[in-house]
Structure 1
């Protein structure tokens, strides 16, 4: 593959769309997880009393369901990524790859 083919691939609209959608999805889900996790850490650092308080005077404190919620959220976000990737992004990737293969075999046009 020469430099001209690489340039044609990088400027291909389908390839650009595929890269942009994957990047946006990944950064969005990463930001959600980061905000939740950092928020929990700030809560641990600055409001321990809330986390140590219990439901209606019971045994379970607020920290336990919040911590478990973060773990569950990570699985949910992974599932969301997998669902979107399998149902939408894979089709776009296949279309982009067909155009990339055409460019690398010098059959495709800009």
Structure 2
């Protein structure tokens, strides 16, 4: 892509809205993930006795293992959420913008 096309794309208001939307969405997911991890770390630091508690009488799995698996599942869910949004919204919008720029030749 030539520099003129790049400049034209960057100046496009739809492109700026798309970039702002993508950035806002990714920062939101990042903040949620940081809160999840730091929440888990605080749980480990402040409540180790709770993490060591078995899920039920006679169980070998503890609350800590379940909480750790929960953090992993939350991370996978957020990743899937981003991929779905990118594939359904961000990528088609970017493709349409690039097609408009190339048609202008």
**What range is the shorter-chain TM-score in?**
0.7 to 0.9
Consecutive unaligned residues in structure 2, runs of 5 or more: none
The 2-side partners of 1:14 and 1:44 are apart by 45
Structure 1: 5+ residue stretches without partners: none
| Equivalent residues, number | 101
Structure scoring higher RCO (CA < 8 A, sep ≥ 6) equals 1
Computed over aligned residues only, the root mean square deviation of the Cα atoms, in angstroms, reads 1.9
Q: Report what 1:20 is aligned to.
A: 20
When the two structures are superposed, what TM-score results if normalisation uses the length of structure 1?
0.79
How far did 1:79 drift?
A: 0.9
2:30 paired with 1:30: yes
Partner in structure 1 of residue 11 of structure 2: 11
8 A Cα contact 1:29 1:77, kept in partner = yes
1:38-49 aligned within 5 A: 38-49=38-49
**1:78-101 CA-partner distances (Å, limit 9, x unpaired):** 111111111111111112223444
Q: Distance in 2 between matches of 1:100 and 1:34?
A: 38
